[in-house]
Structures are given as C-alpha cells and as structure tokens.
Amino acid sequence: MEKNTSLSEESLHQHQKAQLNERQIQALEALRERTRTVPLQKETTAPEIIAYAIDHVFARKSVVKRDVLLAEALKHSAGRVSLSELFKECESRKFLKRGDEIMTREERKREVDLIEFVRNGKRRCGFKTCDIM
C-alpha cells in the first residue's frame, strides 16, 4: 500500500478518527487530557545529565567513545538540554582521552588498582609476573 501524501494533517486525523469506535475515541481523549495536565519535570541541567550518562555508559566499560557518552546524555535529556550544552559540559570534564575514546580518572584508578592486586596475588602464590603486566 502506498503512502497517501495528498491529505492535509487535519484530513488525516479525521480519517484516522473515523476508523475508531466510541470507546477508543473516549480512551484517546482521556489520554490527551492526561498529557495536558502532566506537570513538567524539574529543570535538568547539563552537568546532571552528563553525570547520569557517565554512570550509565561506564557501568560495564572502562573506555567509551565520547560520542557514545553524548548520545546517552542526549537521549536522557529528552530535549531539555541542547546538544551544544551537553558537548560543552562533556568537554569541561577532566576525562583521560585517546583519540575519540575517553575514560574517567576514577575508572583508570580502579584499573590500576586491579592490576596491582593481581600482581601482588601472583607474587604471594609463587607465580612470576608476566611481562605484559
């Protein structure tokens, strides 16, 4: 079936509404009314959104691409903060960077501590540490 582009938006809405029964029309009107009365969420700031995105994207990875962080922040902001504000906030953070990949200083410390823990454990058990570590 081809898309009909000749109808105006109003005509399209009338055509769609004509296909609904009375109960469906009432449910649609009730939903429309509820969305009008829902209060707006509190003002969300770029730092709060970037902090959320950091927690989310670094939950399972120690290194991510900056664009992945920005995409998560933009998705979470739901239009309350512009991409330029999120980008500016992201740039103000002290990430460790290599190319387009970033890592938090806290995550880097955890990685170093984990490597040191493994090295110390090997020495206690009589294993030699390998050159890779």
Q: Per-residue pLDDT tens for 39-86? A: 545 668 999 999 999 998 988 888 999 999 999 999 888 888 888 999
Work out the number of other CB atoms within 10 angstroms of the CB of residue 72: 20
The CA distance from 93 to 49, in Å, is 13
The pLDDT, as a whole number, for residue 38 is 47
Q: Which position has the token pair 């979470």?
A: 76
Percent of the chain whose pLDDT exceeds 90: 25
89 pLDDT above the threshold of 70:
yes
Do the beta carbons of residue 76 and residue 52 sit within 8 Å? yes
21 pLDDT above the threshold of 60:
yes
The CA distance from 83 to 129, in Å, is 46
Angle between helices 83-92 and 66-77 (to 10 degrees): 130
Domain borders along the chain are 46-104
Region 101-128 average pLDDT: 82
Statement: the pTM of the whole predicted model exceeds 0.75:
no
99 φ/ψ sector (left φ>0, alpha ψ -120 to 50, else beta): left
Q: Which position has the token pair 């429309």?
A: 32
The pLDDT, as a whole number, for residue 77 is 85
* Strand partners of residue 65: 101
CA distances from 59 to 6, 67, 69 (A): 49, 16, 12
